[in-house]
Structure 1
Amino acid sequence: MRNDLYITLEKGEFEKGGKSVARNVEITVYVLDIDGQILKSHVAAGSGEPGGDEYHSLVLYHNNSPRWAEQIKLPIPVDMFRGSHVRFEFRHCSTKDKGEKKLFGYSFVPLMQEDGRTLPDGTHELIIHKCEENTSLADCSRYLKLPFSKANLPSNNQTLKGTKESFWITSFLCSTKLTQNGDMLDLLKWRAHPERINDSLSKLKEIDGSEIVKFLQDTLDTLFGILDESSQRYGLKVFDSLVHIINLLQDSKFQHFKPVMDTYIESHFAGALSYRDLIKVLKWYVDRIVDAEHQDHIQQVLKASEYIFKYIIQSRRLFSLATGGQNEDEFRVCIHELFMSIRFFLSQENKGTSPVAQTQAVFLRTFPAVYGELLKIFTVREVAGFVRETLGSLPTTVHADCPLEAVKLQCIAKTVESQLYINPESRCILLPVVLRVLQAHMQEQRDLVMCARILTSMLSLIKKEENGTA
């Protein structure tokens, strides 16, 4: 876990303060907790440097507009972030007496807002609060109620708005646990604001992917929590949000988070009732494929079908474990009805460039990845029956310029290479549909290289079995 706040001391604008020449300004930086105590060893001046209790900037002599551009790292624990703040104290350093440093002002910035969002990344113009040289800042409550940023000043506060003195910092948070995104925070805190659930689910797609994967487990817990409590109202939106997250992990930028989702499904997922809603919504989408004018969203749903089935199967396993296998017949009927809908949409004969044909191709690319999940609940003969009937529903005619034909053959190739086909009991069920597709392509002299690859896999398997029994 990482939680490092980087702060760059950018520049300042200071008045002379009654002096004939410009000031010699030094900044001292402290991090203070919710009780106003200085956090020890939480200010690091550079990479590899040990943490200190404070940081002292360079002193730029006779300069009322100093530009420091000095960056420090504040490795503050997550549990201490709320209520903590950073204080910047400004002192004038005498050129005559090197030990004389007179405090003349300070700025501060809270690390977390009241709603739980952290200080946003970016540049902040902080207010410089004037003070006397002997002012004690030990009691933080005296100044924490004051405005800290020019951007947050109320419109009626003309005194501070009109002052020319300001101090600029740039902040950047590198955290695996805290967020600066209000929409993400609203979603994660859905129980506190149930009236915002609909908006929060709608805005999930607008949240940066890096924020979603940072809170992947928390986000998934939130989605299934909402589904368990309000499936009738939010079932479709939760499903769409889940599809968005699954497809986000297909992006090469986030692919390394797939094992995180796999671990979540196996070890942390607790939605024992979720399978009902997931099957229901998936079937709802499949039933609308043939008549849908726009196929883009449905194709996104089908791209996510491997992980949707992972959730369906794991949810059903959890339910069976908790109830001793209740509602088994109902579950099987739901799965059979889902595959009936899939077979109907696959059976539609379309031109290769039609939207429905493209949707058929999307499904066939992901279908073989579902076999292993189905085998966790159904017998090999049952799964082989699903696959045979599904692939057997495809149109038998081979269209010369139809991209679907190549995808169909690739699906057959993955099926032949799967654990399902290796099992002799299920292979005898799958063999007729595999041979039928191969025959159709070979008669048309199409995709012969792929056909040869499939035949090689089939014959190699037979040879291995012969050698094994010899």
Structure 2
Amino acid sequence: MEVSMRALLELRAQAASGALPQDTLRKVARTAVFTIDKGNRTLGMELAVRTANGQLVDPLKISTYKLNALHDDANARIEKNMETTPVSPPPATPPGARTYTIAVRVHNFVCRMNEPAEIALALHDASGAKLTEHLLLRWPTNHISTALVVFTDFGGDIIKSEKIYLVSNIVRIGNMDAQNIDNRRSSVAQTPPVVSPSARSMRRPFGVACADIKRFVNIDCPSPDKHIQVPFYAYEKENLDCLLKKIIANRDIKDAKHSQGLWVSVRLVEGDLKQIREENPHLVVGNTAVARKMGFPEVIMPGDARNDLYVTVCGGSFSKGGGKSSERNIELIAKVVDKHGQTFPGVISVGAGVPLVNEYTSVVYYHDDRPRWQETFKVCLNIEEFKEAHLVFLCRHRSSNEAKDRAERHFALSYLRLMQREGTTTPDTQHNLCVYKIDKRANQSEAEETCLGLPSRRDELPAGAEHGLARGVLQLVPRDSLAVSTKLCSTKGNLRRLKMEHALRGRYATECIDATASSTERRVGQVPARYIGRPVQYTDAVMVWVILAANAGDAALKRLLMCMKCIESLIRLIVRSRQLRSALGDRASDSEFCLLFEALLKQLVWLMRCGDHALTCQGSALKYLPHAVPHIIKVYPDTELSAYIVRALEALPLGRLSKQRMLALLELVRGPLCSQPSARALLLPHLAATTRALLRDKAEQCRVWQWDREAAHKSRSVGKAARLLGADTAKLPDHTHHQQIVCIRP
């Protein structure tokens, strides 16, 4: 009974969470009902009569005969379910969940260090690539506490992955050289550090703690609160990234003292952050830090607004310069500035669990002109502010001598535009940036503003730039470079996707015009100059050109016929292009679009006035144009569209294509155009007048009689075939039922 009660409580929590789909919720409800009935049967209590759906039946509102029948059915159902009940209890979570969260609690950090430090905790895959944002902890703390971080947005691949590494980069905050270590310190110590960081302190590499936690990332883990040691490996000569790769590759590492390290407990929870707050609130109470996956989850839930730009400083190559005989101790400072050189305050996240800052400062490697940082920070900026923002990277030499270090200034600058010149956000790739030397007498804000007039990436440099490229206080250093990579995770209107899709559609329209122009003879009717003098951004210009070529011979008519058959797809292309441009905030071209589309409708009216040589094209236009109307009314006024359609139908002679005309009117009446009163007021009078004229036309009556005669002949043919084959006429396939014929009888 205890197991049943626990299972019932878990089922109730799942049903009350409100995060289950309907089919899973029904399954949970049925399981809960069966658990209750089973418990009542075990305790010898009265049977609760239910329907097949699990709803309780009120004995006072049902007949005795029906109540007895439901009672027998309920007994049979309970006995059958008890015979097939599995021994194991039902799963605690529904099997359809596809989002997982890893909760990591940091209990202690034991290390021989006499200075403050930063501990950056993140998850990496089997190759060492970073999967999540990192949690930033200050060490040591002034009081005994444990830090909790939840890594969210994982999908089912986290369960199938071969290895999951919990990696912690330890960075020492202090002078260039570490102080003498005379005792072992731990984060559980209540005494504050001897040395406090100052404004002249620098971030120096100290070591890496790394361990594979895949065996603990399991829903059925028996001891989720077990303390796990993450061994610490001290930094020697190579950078922290190389040290991490050496650890993952299981190479022999000297002086690997496993008595030092990080002590954590790991737990895998099924569900996203919202579901965890509802079902496991103890995991996200207080100051719980949330580190998201560096990418989108498998399922993006409604309301999950996100606009994160992850910037990874990969490495750089710098010349000595300045008359120095040894290599520099390079410190990189990154910040976001506008076009005037003003810094955006509080838009850089150096890690989860700490507030936003104005700039990011890298680790300093001793005497290394080719540092490999591989450090990641996040830019939290609204997508609307990307247009005027760019990342600036300032390089500075840090001296071991405090007096000399105080006199050092930034010697070089690189920058990266967050929005490219064509209006798209910076692509998700690695950027090889140019490095510009800063004049010693220059002001820092002046240099940050001047850089916008110079190329940002090395692939943008003009020919001959290696011989000299300067602007104001900046001068290109041809041999130097800085490599950074970016990754944008945005759900607040993907501006880049909209812009790129619109550009591709515009390019397609231009290529269509070029292809049409190359195959059209010179004696084609005159084309408006605005379609030739500049690139066209809308496909309706192509269609206007093709319609104007209707009198240019068989080749032009064939091309026009293909255009009419594809008119729905072409109209959809026009409409989508207009919608994308409107989504980008371009309202200035609305009048131009209306003029272009109006020209297209006028040419369709002109097409209906053409002679017998365009009869096939006219029939195709009547057949396929009504299917494009639901798309047109999204970007063009329905009243004006209805007026042009009526003009086109009136331009077609009454005795021409009567069947296609009536089918087109039938499709228009059934479509969304007639649901608008103003458009319906124009279309219905024309429909009535056309029907009246056709009823009075004797030639049309002859055609109706001929259609009836053909239909009767087909019916007799089917009956004859049925008699010969010995089958029922209703069972014979009639291939003519797909053709919709509108007959007008007097």
Query: If the length of structure 1 is used for normalisation, what is the TM-score?
Result: 0.49
Larger Rg: 2
* Higher relative contact order (CA closer than 8 Å, sequence separation 6+): 1
Query: If the length of structure 2 is used for normalisation, what is the TM-score?
Result: 0.34
Larger helix fraction of residues? 1
